[in-house]
Amino acid sequence: MNNVKTNKIKIILVLTGTLIIGFALGMLTSAQIRNAHLKKYRSFSSTDRFIYGTLHMIDPTPEQKEKILPVIKKYASENNTLREKYRGDFIALMKDFRKELDPYLTKAQKERMDNIARSHSKRSGGSKRHGGPPSPPPGDHGSGRMPCPW
């Protein structure tokens, strides 16, 4: 009888361990898939990263680099201008949203939104990202993430 209980406990432990390992592997796989999909966008989050990321992808010869660097710099600048415009437009939109929404919210709801915004701002502004191409040389290393605007 005691042997049967011991076998049942062993089986339960093996199944539980298998489930835990499966769960952990699933999370890691999911993170890798997400990282792979986002990697190409991360390299274009600032002018320096755009230039460095493009050169890293192309791996040009010295002769090619001399000819294509002005083109890459031109589009890096345009990309940065577009990103900043979008960022400004987004922040303005969210401020208008809060201005229109706030009269309908209770004090507690407003505080909750403010706390979430602060929390998001801390995460996006102060966190170091991992993954993507290697970091470019010193220069503009903005996080590329937008703060929560309200």
From residue 21, alpha-carbon distances to 13, 27, 52 in Å are 12, 10, 38
Residue 139 has pLDDT above 90, yes or no: no
Instruction: Using a cut of 0.85, tell me whether the model's pTM lies above it.
Output: no
1-37 pLDDT, tens digit each = 678 888 899 999 999 999 999 999 999 998 888 877 7
Q: Alpha-carbon distance 106 to 117, whole Å?
A: 17
Please list, in sequence order, all residues whose beta carbon lies within 8 angstroms of the beta carbon of residue 147, skipping any fewer than 6 positions away.
Answer: 120, 121, 124, 125
